[in-house]
Amino acid sequence: MSSELKARIAAFLARPVPKSLAYIRGSFAESLLARYAERGGIDLDPEAAEILDLCVRDSLATASAMPQSSLEAATYLRESAELLAAVASEEERHGAGS
């Protein structure tokens, strides 16, 4: 568990979501980040790890495709993807499910 990562996630989740973003409250990504911030770790089974990877890739692809006028939303998506990737890496290092 990384207390630095927990703090970064908590700060990210406390920020308002850009209005231009098609935001889904309670999404898999948001729920996973909230759980990590609360507990300092999560149990990633193989299916959840695959969905997490898809969330990271989708967030990055969406951010890259956004027009320059949506810089705030693109930045938000990139930060979300970075945090999700950090959670996945942390869980992999510590052995998911252990």
pLDDT digits (tens, 9 = 90+) for 44-60: 889 989 999 999 999 99
Residue 95 pLDDT: 67
Residue 96 pLDDT: 45
What's the whole-number mean pLDDT along residues 73-80? 95
Structure tokens at 39: 């507990």
What's the whole-number mean pLDDT along residues 9-38? 90
Whole-number average pLDDT of the chain: 89
**Would the pTM of this model clear 0.85, i.e. be above it?**
yes
Among 4-8, 19-23, 54-58, which is the least confidently predicted range? Answer: 19-23
Please write down the long-range contacts of 37-45, taking CB distance under 8 Å and 24 or more positions apart: 37/6, 37/9, 37/10, 37/13, 40/1, 40/2, 40/3, 40/6, 41/1, 41/90, 41/91, 41/94, 42/87, 42/91, 43/96, 43/97, 44/88, 44/91, 44/96, 44/97, 45/96, 45/97
